[in-house]
Amino acid sequence: MKNIIKSILIICLSVAFWSCTNEDIVVHYPASTPKIDTAKVVENRITYGDSIHVRLSVSDKVEPLSTLQLKVVCNNEIVASETFRTKGNSSNIAKVYAVPFVANRPDSIPVKVYLTLTNVEGHTKDSIISTTIARRPAGLTQFYLVPDFGTGTSAQLLLIDPINQIYKATGMQYANSLSYKIATKIDRFKRIDWTGKVFGLLPSGVIGLIDPTGASISSSDGTLVGISEFTFDAIKFTTKVGGKLLEPVTTLDVTADLPASPTTLTENTNFRGGNVYFGEGVEVSFTGITGTLANSISPDYFQVTGTNKAKFLGKTGLYKAYFLTTAGYLYIEPQPEAIYPDAIWVCGAGFGRPQQSPYPTLTTTPWNWNSPLEYAPCRLVSTGVYQVTLYLKNIATTDAITGAVNVLGSCNFKFFNKRGWWDGHEQLSTSYTVSTPLFQCASAGNVGNTVGHSDTPFEGIYQITLNQNDNTMKVVKLN
């Protein structure tokens, strides 16, 4: 037994001694700067779309090498990046890197290879290879706009800015929405000749060279009567359409001019709607509205001037007009993609359209974006000032489980910078001085909401003005 114990002690001491000995073995090398002995790119000239062959030889006679970082850069954009583990005192590397033809590739630009060599002590050596010139592919001096089949005839683009490679066509008669490709060759039928280069939409969503399976580019501008001008930037690979602007409407028939069941609404039953080009200060005559006009159109966007006439208050532009047939009410809102600072949107519960006699029988379904019954746009009145007029109803609420009265009432909403869910982009009530009967809220689960309190019931049409210049939220009861 004693022998066993002695053996165990000897083994433990040996292990401890061995461990301490190994911990003490730290190798230090004299200071040394690694060397990049050979660094070259085989090709002196390439065409975008070709590859470069990089040949490197690195060493350090004193300290072992650690890593070599390599970056291929063209026109200040990183084309490729790679880090190599360089063991020992020397290393040879041979690599091939493609230099694709993409946007922002001017002619005769150097392709640079940036190198950073590091040894085990952290000493570095930098170098740049700049001996290769990249040229644009041949055949990029003539371009044709080729609309998708059946949507218009092809048009030749003429060079209007040789330095920046800007091409333009005018005089076409397309609709205000167009799908197309840009070709360098067309056949006698003015369709694409695929022996030339063709630009379309890449899977990444940017414009680039495509083959016959590639997608078309789409451009649209709802503020135009039609597309009669087209511009192509052959360096940046961007396009722009232009044409005669729409004239603001002066008449609107909510039945004849607004199609039923608009597809831009998830829940479109009983709605008619579409795009309408309104002009600031332009008077509109309405047809198809049977109720009192002031009680049937958005007070934030219109000032009633007659029995069936109202002046538009918003900025000139393309808006969505949605007519709720069951209520005889016309909602006006910016385009769905409008975001702050051009628009702010309200979503939540306890509010509805500002209609009276009677008030709306239903307030919004809590926290959804399916139709104007569930959200409301705030009109940009001036820089930093937004206005929305709503029917508000606040009553006491109780906990579904305990039955106890909640602190917060039924009116509970928030101002969002976008129509739809967009985390972190909201106007928090806690940043504003809120006037009664509404309150700011900082309680868990409702931080930043604008709320009513259970002990303060109210109902009516209220105009809310959100002023970012003095951080106030002014609430005025209209009726």
Per-position DSSP letters for 336-369, written without gaps between them: TT-BTTT-EEEEEESEE----SSPPSS-PPSS--
In a domain, 87, yes or no: yes
Bridge partners of 304, per DSSP, are: 310
Pair 478, 389 in one domain: yes
| Domain boundary pick from 311, 333, 355 | 333
SS3 21: helix
Pair 428, 472 in one domain: yes
- Per-residue pLDDT band for 5 (boundaries 50, 70, 90) equals low
Q: Tokens in use for 175?
A: 């609709």
Query: What is the tally of structural domains in the chain?
Result: 4
Average pLDDT over every residue of 468-478: 97
Report the pLDDT value the prediction gives residue 10, as an integer from 0 to 100. 52
In a domain, 49, yes or no: yes
Mean pLDDT of the chain: 92
In a domain, 19, yes or no: no
- Give the CATH number, domain containing residue 74: 2.60.40.10
Question: Smallest Cα–Cα separation from 464: which of 389, 383, 393, 362?
Answer: 389
Bridge partners of 69, per DSSP, are: 83, 116
Pair 315, 345 in one domain: no
- Give the CATH number, domain containing residue 406: 2.60.40.3620
Report the pLDDT value the prediction gives residue 3, as an integer from 0 to 100. 55
Phi, psi of 431 (to 5 degrees): -95, 0
Report the pLDDT value the prediction gives residue 17, as an integer from 0 to 100. 46
Question: Smallest Cα–Cα separation from 125: which of 43, 81, 60?
Answer: 60
In a domain, 11, yes or no: no
- Give the CATH number, domain containing residue 319: 2.60.40
Pair 348, 466 in one domain: yes
228 CA to centre of own chain: 27
Q: Is the pLDDT of residue 180 over 80?
A: yes
In a domain, 12, yes or no: no
Pair 380, 465 in one domain: yes
Report the pLDDT value the prediction gives residue 158, as an integer from 0 to 100. 98
Report the pLDDT value the prediction gives residue 106, as an integer from 0 to 100. 94
Cis peptide before 137 (omega within 30 of 0): no
The contacts of residue 158 (CB under 8 Å, 6+ apart) are: 167, 168, 169
Q: Tokens in use for 341?
A: 């600072």
| Domain boundary pick from 197, 222, 242 | 242
Boundaries of domain holding 124? 35-135
Pair 329, 298 in one domain: yes
| Domain boundary pick from 242, 262, 296 | 242
Give dist(CA 376, CA 347) in Å, integer. Answer: 7
Per-residue model confidence as pLDDT tens digits over 368-401: 999 999 999 999 999 999 999 999 999 998 887 8
The residue that leads in pLDDT, 446 or 3, is 446
In a domain, 128, yes or no: yes
**Tokens 């005192």 belong to residue:** 89
Pair 129, 47 in one domain: yes
Report the pLDDT value the prediction gives residue 21, as an integer from 0 to 100. 47
Give dist(CA 111, CA 129) in Å, integer. Answer: 8
In a domain, 28, yes or no: no
Pair 350, 445 in one domain: yes
Give dist(CA 479, CA 463) in Å, integer. Answer: 10
Report the pLDDT value the prediction gives residue 28, as an integer from 0 to 100. 80
Query: What is the model's pTM?
Result: 0.67
Per-residue model confidence as pLDDT tens digits over 100-110: 999 999 999 99
- Per-residue pLDDT band for 33 (boundaries 50, 70, 90) equals very high
In a domain, 373, yes or no: yes
Pair 229, 255 in one domain: no
Per-residue model confidence as pLDDT tens digits over 47-79: 999 999 999 999 999 999 999 999 999 999 999
Per-residue model confidence as pLDDT tens digits over 303-344: 999 999 999 999 999 999 999 999 999 999 999 989 999 999
Per-residue model confidence as pLDDT tens digits over 256-305: 999 999 999 999 999 999 999 999 999 999 999 999 999 999 999 999 99
Pair 374, 474 in one domain: yes
Pair 349, 479 in one domain: yes
Per-residue model confidence as pLDDT tens digits over 149-165: 988 899 999 999 999 99
Pair 365, 418 in one domain: yes
- Bridge-based pairing of strands 271-278 and 251-253 is unpaired
